[in-house]
Amino acid sequence: MLKKRTRDDAEIPMSSLADIAFLLLVFFLVVTTIDVDTGIGMILPPIPDDIEPPPVRERNLMNILVNAQGMVLINEEPAAIANVRDQVRRFIDNHGADPNLSESPDDAIVSIKTDRRTPYNVYIDMLDEVMGAYEELRHEASMDRFGVPFTSLEQGSERRAEIQEMYPKQISIAEPDEG
Amino acid sequence: MSKFQKKAAKTKQSVPTSAMPDVVFMLLIFFMVTTVLREVELQVQIDYAAAENIEKIEQKRLVSYVYIGPERLGGGRLGETRVQIDDALVDDIGAIRNIMYDKLLEQPRLIVSLRVDRDSEFGIITDVQQELRHAGTLRINYSTRRQM
């Protein structure tokens, strides 16, 4: 008796599957925000203990000051932001040739000082130029030695470390003035 | 002539659509995986500065964000420059030290990403940096867009 009964088709309708998937897809497309996760990396200097910092010879130190008006002073002389890169490059890559510039890239320290009212974007532009100088020098060293651009060297590889050691980024943030 | 006509008549004109759900699902899964739902509600307005020589932060787990910018008031008005960490505005700059120190204990290789509005003055950033130095979180990153 029961066997005679015709059963309904036990299939789930699949035709709307694509529509549902599309709906979800559109939802995620709208919700997705590609986050900014790029930036300029820096290491802050630790809080000084009572130990005096090791003396640095004046020629090995490049003082960059950005004042409240957004003007850049390199070793007390005004400079345009566009010139910062060149000046930093000459300073680092001097190898003792000019007695006023650094003795070697190892010794060269770029010191950055800002005023409390310095505009942030000027500071970033200036920092960008300094980073650009290091990047250029590393790129050239890498092309010279390995024949490939620095950016193509793998993270953590020996070659990369070697170039980084040739031109170590020694950027110091000066102690802020009191008050 | 007739030869050509016959051939043309044989070809099917429809595009096969049976693989469409698969394609859509693939895209769907891609977006589901890459989507990061916004974790914090920003209470400050941030317009990033742009720079050329930037690096990508590869390990997102290590990053903790500090937002600095003008406070968002109702009606699209902007207030004083404030500091926001996680979900709350920081009233006392001196408290950043403890907050960051606690984070550092949880994640010893912490990177602090400073997301600063481009029109801020540097004084407040100096203050925050001094606090970070006291906390011992020395690895920082100034968030910037890539310059076009």
Please indicate if any CB of chain B lies within 8 Å of the CB of A149.
Answer: no
Name the nearest CA neighbour of A65 among A178, A179, A176, A170: A176
A12: in domain: no
Q: How many domains does chain A have?
A: 1
pLDDT of residue B3: 56
Please indicate if any CB of chain A lies within 8 Å of the CB of B32.
Answer: yes
> Using a CB-CB distance cutoff of 8 angstroms, which residues of chain B are in contact with residue A44?
129, 132-133, 137-140
Residue A51 has pLDDT above 70, yes or no: no
ipTM: 0.73
A36: in domain: no
A177: in domain: no
Please indicate if any CB of chain B lies within 8 Å of the CB of A36.
Answer: yes
Least confident interval from A72-76, B17-21, B126-130: B17-21
Comparing alpha-carbon positions, the chain B residue that sits nearest to A14 is B21
Going by pLDDT thresholds of 50, 70 and 90, the confidence category of residue B70 is very high
Residue A179 has pLDDT above 70, yes or no: no
What is the CATH classification number for the domain harbouring A106? 3.30.420.270
pLDDT digits (tens, 9 = 90+) for A83-136: 888 988 888 888 888 888 888 888 888 888 888 888 888 999 999 999 999 989
pLDDT of residue B116: 92
Which pair of structure tokens corresponds to residue A89?
A: 């490059």
The proportion of chain B whose per-residue pLDDT surpasses 90, expressed as a percent, equals: 18
Supply the range of the domain harboring residue A87.
58-171
pLDDT of residue A4: 61
Burial of A84 by CB count in 10 Å (0-12 exposed, 13-18 middle, 19+ buried)?
Answer: buried
The proportion of chain A whose per-residue pLDDT surpasses 70, expressed as a percent, equals: 90
Going by pLDDT thresholds of 50, 70 and 90, the confidence category of residue A67 is confident
| Contact call for B51 and A22, based on CB within 8 A | no
Min Cα–Cα distance to chain B from A49, Å: 11
A162: in domain: yes
pLDDT of residue A6: 66
Please indicate if any CB of chain B lies within 8 Å of the CB of A135.
Answer: yes
Q: Which domains, and CATH codes, for chain B?
A: 49-146 (3.30.420.270)
Going by pLDDT thresholds of 50, 70 and 90, the confidence category of residue A34 is low
Residue A2 has pLDDT above 60, yes or no: no
| Mean per-residue pLDDT over chain A, rounded | 83
A31: in domain: no
> Using a CB-CB distance cutoff of 8 angstroms, which residues of chain A are in contact with residue B61?
none
Compute the average pLDDT of residues A58-66. Answer: 86
DSSP letter at A95? T
A151: in domain: yes
pLDDT of residue B58: 76
End-to-end CA distance of chain B: give it in Å, rounded: 58
Task: Say which of A18, A43, A132 has its CB closest to residue B20.
Answer: A18
pLDDT of residue A3: 59
pLDDT digits (tens, 9 = 90+) for B92-145: 888 899 999 999 999 899 999 999 998 888 888 988 998 898 898 889 999 988
Min Cα–Cα distance to chain B from A131, Å: 6
> Using a CB-CB distance cutoff of 8 angstroms, which residues of chain A are in contact with residue B137?
44
A21: in domain: no
A7: in domain: no
Min Cα–Cα distance to chain B from A29, Å: 7
- Judge whether B141 and A39 are in contact, CB under 8 Å: yes
Q: Looking at per-residue confidence, does A3 or A111 come out higher?
A: A111
Q: Is A90 helix (H, G, I), strand (E, B) or coil?
A: helix
Residue A101 Rama label (left phi>0; alpha psi -120 to 50; beta)? beta
Least confident interval from B27-41, B52-66, B72-86: B27-41
pLDDT of residue A84: 87
Please indicate if any CB of chain A lies within 8 Å of the CB of B81.
Answer: no
Kindly compute the dihedral angle of the four CA atoms of residues B58, A175, A114, A94, in this order, to the nearest 10 degrees: -80
Comparing alpha-carbon positions, the chain B residue that sits nearest to A17 is B21
